[in-house]
Structure 1
């Protein structure tokens, strides 16, 4: 029994020693490979994207969304409540200025016009009669005065001959003075225009005429006409419908010019100028169009906190309708003829910005630079590099002054 135990222990020891030897050999082999691999890695030059920079205009792309807007869209509403008696247009029909679109019932107004015409005729007759009476009275006053003057002159001669008494002469003189006063009173009324009684009659006549004119204007307003040319884009009216005053019944859309309205943020509005070319995509049509900016709002919208700009298409198509969703791209110049690099080319560390310049021997020089403007993809370099130098764009974390690289030249 003791011999068997001793034999087993010996076997276990042999197995353990053998296993340890195998593990040690494996470790040695793996370590040797790692060392060789590390030496190979240190000897390999990193592959780095490089780019030669040149002075160019630094641009910024502004992407906006908006919608198409017609040359004009005019909503037409009824001015008065009433029944529709005639509709002369259909949806999609082209109309011209002044064309009759719709008519409302005017029978009540026609009756009022007829009644007021009768009142006008009576008032006009009264005014004519009053004026005739005034003229007759004025003529009579003139005649009476002339007669009294003649009588006084004759009596004055008779008195000088002793044919009449002083009393008779005085009476003739008083009659002349009285007639003159009456004539002057009528003359003053004539010079002022006419007598108060005549003016009153004329005022009644003119009032009746103004009522008739107002009724005729109201009747004319019951016939809705096209204020401009365009296409009927909305119709909500049928013969027999009762429409209310102010109710929209038709609209005219003029698509002779198509505009695109977009909102621009306060941050970007400084780069937007009139005449700037734009690219407009109409998603529902799957097409892109060119255009230009023709309007920039002078003040910011207090609700949207943005500025509205309007663009016009260079070559609009009939397939474009108002209200279509549009995507607009505007390329603006941030700085003319400046140096700028891709954002990936700048390494910021410990509060300093640096880039890596690659010389003709493909060796790297680290430089501290001063940054300027930025756009979506690039950063302006104010100082630290020169026009025509080549810079590293990738693998920056593995670079330092003196590093040798394998360059992968990128197109400008």
Structure 2
């Protein structure tokens, strides 16, 4: 009797185990994530320093003694304005000499050009050759009729050949005079340009429009092209450069608005991305991103540390989910939303990526529970059991 009871209990336990296993196998275990508003995601913050658009060190193009300081530190200058003057005495004399040489070469070229146009040297030779040629033709006819001797005939030929040679020499000489005069004029012009540049270089000018931040020379000081005479900062705007990791660069794009906070000054402003480096630094894996501050927000706080964030202006229907939740088939992108105990296949429209998250512009609302991982392949309407919510 005890043996029968034992067998019955064993059968009941086996049935219970079978039933339990059958119940678990009917549900797929899943891990889910909650769709969040873009504002709920922790925004990435990058740090940089407010800088001028550009800063240029100005070095004189010539050596010499500084005779005058024209501008002053803190002064706004336009491109081409003189900052300081280097002694131009010798340069002025060289310029006068070069100008005289150019004037003489120009006069000589004018004479050669006029002679070429009027055919001054060639015209008499052409007349002489034409006369000799016509005379030879007559003598040739008379010689054929035995009316003149062979000596007279050969003399006529000789005069014609001589006249032709003179004509060719006159043409060559006239062309040569013109070409020589033109070459001398070009050389004199080049010498004049060089002398003019050396004279102009004595006035050291600003290559950009901006503010002079430093003048490093004094009157009477001798300078050379190796010396930094002054520094000019482009004050038309400000920029911030940040270094962005290769894992985060995908969320940034040229023209994207950015929020900039200058905590030490208690100020905030806006800007936009103007440039993203095409390749990352091979050593750091970072991309350089340049942000231009909006003109109306130009704070003139060059040198201050800046906290930079991508501007968040999410529409109410825009939510974010982990990128791993999204699947794709021939019909497009979709996710599985947990509804009750079922996985519901739901089409979605993707927006922009933010770190490991993807924006969903259509198909989901905030607080939707989306399947992130599952123990089995998912199908629409499949029963699921949520193990973990992330």
Give the TM-score range, shorter chain: 0.5 to 0.7
1:194 alignment partner, one of 175, 180, 204: 175
Query: Displacement of 1:284 after TM fit?
Result: 3.2
Segment of structure 1 superposing worse, 257-266 or 291-300: 291-300
Query: Displacement of 1:206 after TM fit?
Result: 2.9
**TM-score of the superposed pair, with normalisation by structure 2:** 0.62
**TM-score of the superposed pair, with normalisation by structure 1:** 0.59
The 2-side partners of 1:125 and 1:290 are apart by 64
Does structure 1 residue 97 correspond to structure 2 residue 87? Answer: no
Query: Displacement of 1:79 after TM fit?
Result: 1.2
Is contact 2:37-2:319 (8 Å) kept? yes
Query: Displacement of 1:107 after TM fit?
Result: 1.3
Query: Displacement of 1:175 after TM fit?
Result: 0.7
Residue in 2 that maps onto 1:293: 273
CA-to-aligned-CA distance 1:19-46 (integer Å, 9 cap, x gap): xxxxxxxxxxxxxxxxxxxxxxxxxxxx
Rate the CA distance shift 1:219–1:159 in 2: closer, same or farther, 3 A. same
Is contact 2:34-2:389 (8 Å) kept? no
Segment of structure 1 superposing worse, 150-159 or 203-212: 150-159
The 2-side partners of 1:177 and 1:373 are apart by 97
The 2-side partners of 1:133 and 1:339 are apart by 88
Query: Displacement of 1:329 after TM fit?
Result: 3.0
Residue in 2 that maps onto 1:325: 305
Residue in 1 that maps onto 2:381: none
Rate the CA distance shift 1:89–1:158 in 2: closer, same or farther, 3 A. same
Does structure 1 residue 67 correspond to structure 2 residue 57? Answer: no
The 2-side partners of 1:120 and 1:225 are apart by 27
Rate the CA distance shift 1:200–1:305 in 2: closer, same or farther, 3 A. same
Does structure 1 residue 261 correspond to structure 2 residue 241? Answer: yes
Is contact 1:258-1:316 (8 Å) kept? no
Residue in 2 that maps onto 1:109: 91
Number of corresponding residues: 297
1:307 alignment partner, one of 283, 287, 292: 287
Is contact 1:112-1:215 (8 Å) kept? yes
Query: Displacement of 1:127 after TM fit?
Result: 5.8
The 2-side partners of 1:392 and 1:136 are apart by 105
Does structure 1 residue 382 correspond to structure 2 residue 353? Answer: no
Query: Displacement of 1:68 after TM fit?
Result: 0.8
The 1-side partners of 2:130 and 2:175 are apart by 22
Is contact 1:56-1:339 (8 Å) kept? no
Residue in 1 that maps onto 2:333: none
Query: Displacement of 1:249 after TM fit?
Result: 1.6
CA-to-aligned-CA distance 1:340-388 (integer Å, 9 cap, x gap): 9xxxxxxxxxxxxxxxxxxxxxxxxxxxxxxx9589xxxx97258xxxx
Segment of structure 1 superposing worse, 164-173 or 215-224: 164-173
CA-to-aligned-CA distance 1:29-66 (integer Å, 9 cap, x gap): xxxxxxxxxxxxxxxxxxxxxxxx96324634212211
Is contact 1:88-1:102 (8 Å) kept? yes
Structural RMSD (CA)? 4.2
Structure 1: 5+ residue stretches without partners? 1-52, 341-371, 394-412
Is contact 1:84-1:238 (8 Å) kept? yes
Rate the CA distance shift 1:56–1:383 in 2: closer, same or farther, 3 A. same
The 2-side partners of 1:122 and 1:314 are apart by 58
Does structure 1 residue 252 correspond to structure 2 residue 232? Answer: yes
Rate the CA distance shift 1:331–1:179 in 2: closer, same or farther, 3 A. closer
CA-to-aligned-CA distance 1:103-147 (integer Å, 9 cap, x gap): 221211222233344545565666677778986542332232234
Does structure 1 residue 138 correspond to structure 2 residue 122? Answer: yes
The 2-side partners of 1:206 and 1:228 are apart by 33
